[in-house]
Copies of this chain bind each other. A is one copy, B any other.
Amino acid sequence: MAKNDKKMVNAITSMEEDFAQWYTDIVKKAELIAYTSVKGCMVIRPYGYAIWENIQRILDGMFKATGHENVNMPMFIPESLLQKEKDHVEGFAPEVAWVTMGGNNKLEERLCVRPTSETLFCDHYKDIVHSYRDLPKLYNQWVSVVRWEKTTRPFLRSREFLWQEGHTIHATAQEAIEETERMLNVYAKFCEDALALPVVRGQKTESDKFAGAEATYAIEALMHDGKALQAGTSHYFGDGFARAFDIQYADKDNTLKYPHQTSWGVTTRLIGAIIMTHGDNNGLVLPPAVAPIQVVIVPAAMHKEGVLEKATALYEQLKAAGIRVKLDDSDNSPGWKFAEYEMKGVPVRVEIGPRDIAANQCVIATRHDGEKENVSLDSFVESVQQKLQAVHDGLFQAALENRERRTYQCTTIDEIRQTLAEKGDGFIEAMWCGEEACEDEVKAQTGVGSRCIPFAQKTLSDKCVCCGKPAKHMVLWGNAY
């Protein structure tokens, strides 16, 4: 790190002053992204990409453990292929990028850059699925996709973004529904265990489901500012795509049947969720499981005899224990280093100087709460491991408390309006009759939209918050990213 970057470390807007600017400051100052000449697209810089690599590694392991295989589909979809499923093309055509020229020649048929790949997978299934013996196929791919957004923000909404898209095809509806639920649960578990991100699992309303899906499940998280963020989705397609693409298989009883499909995805938006759930006014705070650097060792009085040797020995101990550790033996001052690694959200900092060495101890500081503790070097690795666990637990607990504190039950539209006016953004729990008109009316009158119908239902009243007719579901409402 260059010395002339020193000033930059402190130049961050406080989140209370301007949450959007605070977010932008972090993504830039923590060197997660850089803007580009390509409108709506970003460079993911090494520190940001390393977070994504950790997300990929853990999720990919979970996908493989549940029987999925990785494949790679073309990035282009011929227009005729995109058009085969009616709802799907209506949902996506307005926001795709079109390739119309190859070299100097106009293409006979224009190609869209994939906004999602259901149509490509269907085209492939038709080729390889003929018998019940060919089912299920449990596929995933790690790629980028393009959606021609008008307003963009790093990680949250960009014209190109990185994601994984799972695509599976099954003999029966039941198997496909189970898969849809299984993968939503994989996402929820990943968010909670790896990202320290508590999520609400639920189903999207009809108006909010994926173009072409019979049902869309989602996990929803609540950010520091009380806005909701959809962290992952899992879709059940029934046999709609199979019918549109004429995919049939011969079942054991020798009759031809339509198979049932799913798809599910999470994106680099998860990095945005990490920032807005755990970050603070000193910068990023990273959950240990995905932090590129889990522990930074900062030696004090570095040139004093024995200090660098001891710091290096501690570094080697942590490395041998499989911990991602960095020893910063640069010429920058300890104070500068503290601020720098706080900005970068490194979960645990180890300080070691001559007096610590004399006392056979070191200082361990935890990023999320700023606490410092002297620990004996005899149990150094165990202490660091405990602290990493403590950071994870502390982050999860704080995020959960923030969500609970900001979740409000309302039984009338007035109450929703009043709650939002008094308390600011948050999750509103309110009953709903199931009619789209009421969903629209709540949005029109209060500004908040339905986030999902939580699987964990409560009965707050027996009447719809809008029309007063019998309620079918409790819906979670909120402003969303």
Tell whether A374 is near chain B: CB-to-CB under 8 Å.
no
Q: Given A34-B124, A101-B97 in contact, is the A50-B74 Cβ separation under 8 Å? A: no
Nearest-neighbour CB distance to chain B for A459, whole angstroms, equals 43
- CB contacts under 8 Å to B, within A12-44, are 34-38, 41-44
Q: How far is the CA of A193 from the CA of B70 in the complex (A)?
A: 25
Given A44-B71, A46-B70: A160 and B76 within 8 A (CB)? yes
Whole-angstrom CA separation of A74 from B158 in the bound complex: 10
Pairwise interchain contact A34-B101, C-beta atoms closer than 8 A: no
Chain A interface secondary structure, helix, strand, loop or mixed?
Answer: mixed
Q: In whole angstroms, what is the CA distance A407 to B403 when docked?
A: 71
Cα-based distance from A146 to B70 in the complex (angstroms): 21
Copies of this protein, total = 2
Contact A94-B98, Cβ < 8 Å, known A2-B134, A70-B50, A127-B34: no
* B34–A74 CB distance below 8 A: no
Q: Is the CB of A144 within 8 A of B75?
A: yes
Known interface pairs A49-B70, A49-B71, A120-B36; A76-B41 also in contact (CB < 8 Å): yes
Complex contacts, A120 vs chain B, CB 8 Å: 36, 38, 43
Nearest chain B CB to A344 CB, angstrom units: 14
Cα–Cα, bound, A133→B330 (Å): 13
- Pick from B37, B44, B99, B113: contact of A81, CB below 8 A: B37
Q: How far, in whole Å, are A110 and B98 apart by their CA atoms in the complex?
A: 10
Which residues on the B side are within 8 Å of A43 (C-beta)? 71-74, 120, 124
Which residues A126-141 have CB closer than 8 A to chain B?
127-128, 131, 133-134, 139
A95 at the interface (CB under 8 A from B): yes
Residue from the set A36, A37, A45, A71 with the largest chain B CB neighbour count within 10 Å: A37
Q: Residue A38 contacts which of B34, B37, B69, B74 (CB distance < 8 angstroms)?
A: B74
Is residue A77 contacting chain B, with contact meaning CB distance below 8 A?
A: yes
Those of A95-112 within 8 Å (CB) of chain B: 95-104, 110-111
Q: Does A123 sit at the interface, judged by CB under 8 A?
A: yes
Q: Which residues of B contact A151 (CB under 8 A)?
A: none
Contact A99 B98, beta carbon cutoff 8 Å = yes
Tally of contact residues, A, Cβ under 8 A: 59
Task: Please tell me if the beta carbons of B2 and A133 are within 8 angstroms of each other in the complex.
Answer: yes
Per a CB cutoff under 8 Å, which of B72, B102, B131 touches A148?
Answer: B102
User: Is the C-beta of A162 less than 8 angstroms from some C-beta in chain B?
Assistant: yes
- Do the beta carbons of B74 and A131 come within 8 Å of each other? no
Query: How far apart are the CA atoms of A75 and B72 in the complex, in Å?
Result: 16
- Contacting residues, chain B, for A144 (C-beta < 8 A): 72, 75, 143
Which of A34, A74, A93, A113 has the most chain B CB atoms closer than 10 A to its own CB?
A74
> Within 8 Å of chain B (Cβ to Cβ): is A53?
yes
A47 to B81, CA, bound (A): 26
Told that A38-B76, A100-B100 touch, could you supply 8 new A-B pairs with CB distance under 8 A? A35-B127, A38-B74, A38-B77, A38-B81, A38-B111, A38-B120, A43-B72, A75-B75
Binding site for B on A (CB under 8 A): 2-4, 34-38, 41-46, 49-50, 52-53, 69-78, 81, 93-104, 110-111, 113, 120, 123-124, 127-128, 131, 133-134, 139, 143-144, 146, 148, 160, 162
Chosen A-B contacts, 23 in total, with CB atoms closer than 8 Å, are A2-B134, A36-B123, A36-B124, A37-B78, A37-B81, A38-B76, A38-B77, A38-B81, A38-B120, A41-B74, A43-B73, A43-B120, A44-B71, A46-B69, A53-B70, A75-B113, A75-B146, A76-B97, A94-B104, A95-B103, A97-B101, A97-B111, A100-B100
